[in-house]
Amino acid sequence: MSIPFLDLRAINGRMHDEIQAAISRVLEAGWYIHGKEVTAFEQQFATWCGGGEVVGVGNGLDALVLALRAAGIGPGDEVIVPAHTFIATWLAVSAVGATPVAVDVHVDTYNLDASLIEAALTARTRAILVVHLYGQLADMDAICALAQTHTIAVIEDAAQAHGAELHGKPAGAWGLAGCFSFYPGKNLGALGDAGAVVTRDAGLARQIRLLGNYGSQKRYEHEVLGTNSRLDEMQAAILQVRLAHLAAHNAQRSELAARYLTRLAAVPQLGLPAVRDGMKPVWHLFVVRTTARAALQAWLQQHEVQTLVHYPCPPHLQPAYQGRIAPGAPVPVTEQLADQVLSLPMGPHLSLSQIDRVCDLIIQFFAGQS
């Protein structure tokens, strides 16, 4: 039994007829940019996000960049970012000319450690760009309270957290803006690149629309130096199909994660993801920690179980950032995670018996180690 990490062909294949119908609808309409499919998806996704206005954009990185730009963040400003994240979080800050300031994370939730933020604030800090990594929200109560005290903005990188909630409040609804990616492998994935920003600030939404459409609201009138970053009709039509299945897919992920958590609790050598009170994760990834990562990964591969590492090298150690950021506070947890994290197969393409197979193999591996 071969167990793939992710199988988009299988996941999208089950929606084949619905996706085909969505594509035909766009083809028949003959209208491909800024039309009724985008408007319909924006409205449906806004409901999903607990209200506000959704602006479709080209991809998740653009969602972050446009939200930061619309919030007036630019050269000379500092933005707090988690040290442990996908590099897009940092690149968005760099893209607007601001400086990312790394703060370490909790070893068990993998998300920003709010108690370390205060020490990283300076007179130049303008925002906290918080990431809801692997499908769980960061400690938003503490982070939002801190931001309010210091009158700085909170912007959410919710690219891995479509539908995740903390105390019943969804990802994207906490900060000034919530930024989503619909990259094919995300919980809500398009058949190509796509992204969106959700915000309750109508002025900010207008500014993001403007920036993403050549700085123009009225054809050939350009109010600001904009760019081209638009969600297209084809992806918006496909995303409506995927959105209709998102609750079921997230529920499936939860069932698989519960099985992993129950069965792997028997392996003391393995660090499991912690779920704080009030959290409803959507398990974009199921990430464990082990000092025997390379050997465990090889053992699983040998038994046709595919795993991945998210992420083997944190942004501050990437060649791209050498000489570009001031050495900040040390981030020992992030550096430990880079050496120890392993993402197990997760997604609606998997069955509970496949999860059991992965757990059996992991238990066997560690039994052989001791």
Residues within the interface to ligand PLP (CB under 6 A):
59-61, 85-86, 88-89, 131, 157, 159-160, 181, 183, 193, 195
The torsion angles phi and psi of 9, rounded to 5 degrees, stand at: -65, -40
Contact yes or no for 307/360 (Cβ under 8 A): no
Which of residues 59 and 250 has its CB atom nearest to ligand PLP in the complex?
59
**170 beta partners:** 165
Largest CA distance in the chain: 70
Contact yes or no for 258/56 (Cβ under 8 A): no
Tell which residue, 350, 309, 271, has the closest CA to residue 134: 309
| Cα–Cα dist 351/269, whole Å | 25
Which of residues 105 and 264 has its CB atom nearest to ligand PLP in the complex?
105
The minimum distance between CB 74 and ligand PLP, in angstroms, equals 20
Which of residues 137 and 296 has its CB atom nearest to ligand PLP in the complex?
137
The owner of tokens 């519960």 is: 258
The minimum distance between CB 327 and ligand PLP, in angstroms, equals 24
Which of residues 140 and 359 has its CB atom nearest to ligand PLP in the complex?
140
The minimum distance between CB 131 and ligand PLP, in angstroms, equals 5
The minimum distance between CB 155 and ligand PLP, in angstroms, equals 12
User: Residue type at 199?
Assistant: T
Helices H, strands E: what count in the chain?
A: 11, 12
The minimum distance between CB 185 and ligand PLP, in angstroms, equals 8
Which of residues 53 and 193 has its CB atom nearest to ligand PLP in the complex?
193
Q: Which residues contact 327 (CB under 8 A, 6 or more apart)?
A: none
The minimum distance between CB 186 and ligand PLP, in angstroms, equals 6
The minimum distance between CB 344 and ligand PLP, in angstroms, equals 17
User: Residue type at 338?
Assistant: A
Classify the phi-psi angles of 136: left when phi > 0, otherwise alpha if psi is within -120 to 50, otherwise beta: beta
The minimum distance between CB 229 and ligand PLP, in angstroms, equals 10
Which of residues 48 and 86 has its CB atom nearest to ligand PLP in the complex?
86
Which of residues 90 and 366 has its CB atom nearest to ligand PLP in the complex?
90
Contact yes or no for 101/81 (Cβ under 8 A): yes
Which of residues 26 and 171 has its CB atom nearest to ligand PLP in the complex?
171
- Among all residues, whose Cβ is closest to ligand PLP? 60
| Cα–Cα dist 119/38, whole Å | 42
The owner of tokens 């994660």 is: 257
